[in-house]
A and B are shown apart, each in its own frame.
Chain A
Amino acid sequence: MTPVPHRVVGRRDETDDVVTLLLSPTVGGDLRSRSGQFNMLTAFGVGEAAISVSSAPYDDGPLQHTVRDVGPVTHALCLARIGEVVGVRGPFGTDWGVASPQGSGEPVDHELSTDASGPEGDVVVVAGGIGLAPLRGAVYELMARHSRTGGRVFVIVGARDPSQIIFGNDLDVWASEGALVEVTVDVSTSGWTGHVGLVTSLLNNAGFDPVGATALVCGPEIMMRFTARSLIDSGVDPRRIKVSLERNMQCGVAWCGHCQLGPFLLCRDGPILPYAGLVAHLLTERER
C-alpha cells in the first residue's frame, strides 16, 4: 500500500490537456503490469489518482502513464517536470487478456482467452478520447501477435477534434505494420481530411469478421455502451466484447468499496470486464 517513488524521466504532451509521463523507480525494480491494468499515481502533497498503464508490458523502457488534466491530482501530475518524483502503487485490476510475445508470465484468466497467444479471430480495438491509453499496450501486444500469426487487428479511434487525437505516432506505426487503423472526429477542423462522425459509424465498413472476433472497448461509458450495441448488431458475440470500467478507485485492493458497481469492486474485479450479461445491465442502471 506504500507508493514506490518514481522519477519522471520523460514527458510527452499528447494534447493541450493530456500528458504522458515516463517513470523509472528511484529504488528497486520496475512494477510489471499487464495491458489494461492501472496504478495509483501519487502527486505528493496533493493526492492519488487511478491511472491506466499506457506502456506495453514487454516494453523494457520506463513505465508510461497517460494523464488527462481533469482535477487537482491529475493537474499536478500533468505539471510534473522531468526529475520530479511521483508515487506509484500497483499494478491493480484485470487486464485485456492479450499475451505479450514472450508471455506475460502471469496467468491470463479471461474466459475468452483460449491460450497464452491471446484471442483468436479478428481483434477490434475501439477507443474514444483518452480511452486509447489503456489500450495502447494491448495493441502493441496484438501487433506482435500479428507479426507471428497474422491475426488481423482493427484499431478504431474516436476523438473530439483532430487536435485531441493521442498517440498519433503509434497509430502510424500500427498501420504501417498491418493493422487497419481508422480515426474519426466529432468536430472537423480546417485541413482534416479523415472521417467525421461517431466512432460507431466506422464499424460497419471496418471489414472485420464478426464471427469469432474479440472487441476491446475503452472510452466514455456512453460511447462504450453504444459501441458494444453496434458490435453486437454487426454479429460480434457479446461475450467476446470487453470494456474498461472506471469508478472512484481509491484503495486499489477492494477494501474501501468506493469503486463498487453492483457486485463488482472495479479495482479488483475490473477495470476490464466482459460486456455481456450483468455488465451490460449495470451500465444502463440509474444511480440511486
Chain B
Amino acid sequence: MTKTLAEVVSAHPLLAGLPGQTVATIAGCAQNVSFNPGDLLLAESDPANTLYLLRRGRVAIEVHSPGRGPIVIETVDPGAVVGWSWLVPPYRWHFDARAVGAVGAVAVDGACLREKAEADPELGYALMKRMAGVLLERLQMTRLRLLDLYGTNSAR
C-alpha cells in the first residue's frame, strides 16, 4: 500500500512522534524527490531553501578544492537530515551534497517551513528542538574527529 506523504514524513526519525496536525503542516511543504548517482542535492553558495529527509541511499557532504576535486567531509545515510542552512540567514549552502548512489528523500521547502514555524510557535519550537539535536550530534562527531583518535600517537 502506498504511504501518504504525511505518513512518510512522520516515519522519518527527525519528525517521528510529532502530533498528526504538526506532521500534516510540515507535509504541506514537502514533496518526494529522487536523485541519480552523482546528482547534487545542493551546491555551495546557492540559496539554501530545502530540508532533505533522507529515505534511501547515501549522500556525501563535500567541498570542492582546486586541484583536488571534491573532498568528502562526511557521508549520511537513510534516516539522516541533509541541509540546515535554510534555517538561519543568510540561507545559503556552505557545502555541496552529492548522491553517492540512487537517493530517495522528502524535500521540505525551507521558506514554507519557516513561514509556518513563525506562525505557529509550537511547531517552530518542536522543529528547532529536533534540528538542534541533529546539529548537536553532528557537532559532537566533528569534535571527536578533530581529535584524530586513530592518529600516530595511538597504540590502537
Binding site for B on A (CB under 8 A): 17, 68, 70, 74, 128-131, 158-160, 164, 184, 186, 188, 190, 192-198, 200-202, 204-205, 218-220, 222-223, 226, 246
- Which of the residues B58, B78, B150 comes within 8 Å of A160, measured between beta carbons? B150
Number of interface residues of B (CB under 8 A): 27
Contacting A222 at CB < 8 Å: which of B60, B75, B147? B147
Q: Are A201 and B141 in contact (CB under 8 A)?
A: yes
Told that A68-B154, A197-B76, A222-B147 touch, could you supply 15 new A-B pairs with CB distance under 8 A? A68-B156, A128-B149, A130-B156, A160-B148, A192-B72, A194-B75, A195-B58, A195-B77, A196-B75, A197-B75, A198-B141, A205-B79, A220-B149, A220-B156, A223-B149
Contacting residues of chain B (123-156) with chain A, CB-CB under 8 angstroms: 141, 144-145, 147-156
A154 to B84, CA, bound (A): 31
B147 lies within 8 A of A129 (CB) = no
Of B58, B148, B154, which is within 8 A of A70 by CB?
B154
Chain A min CB distance to B37 (Å)? 10
B71 at the interface (CB under 8 A from A): yes
Interface centre among B71, B75, B78, B100 (most CB of A within 10 A): B75
In the complex, the 10 A-B pairs of residues with the closest C-beta atoms, listed nearest first = A129-B150, A188-B72, A160-B150, A198-B141, A220-B149, A196-B75, A131-B156, A196-B72, A186-B145, A197-B74
List residues of chain B with CB within 8 A of the CB of A246: 155-156
Establish whether residues A159 and B150, one from each chain, have CB atoms under 8 Å apart when the complex forms: yes
21 contacts between A and B (CB under 8 A): A70-B152, A70-B154, A128-B150, A129-B150, A131-B156, A158-B150, A160-B150, A186-B150, A188-B71, A188-B72, A188-B73, A190-B68, A190-B69, A192-B72, A196-B60, A198-B141, A198-B144, A204-B79, A220-B156, A223-B150, A246-B156
| Chain B residue at minimal CB-CB distance from A223 | B149
**What's the Cα separation between A173 and B151 when bound, in Å?**
27
**A219 vs B71: C-alpha distance when bound (angstroms):** 26
Report the minimum CB–CB distance from A25 to chain B (whole Å): 25
Residue-wise interface mask of B (56-88) relative to A, using a CB-CB cutoff of 8 A (1 in contact, 0 not): 001010000000110111111111000000000
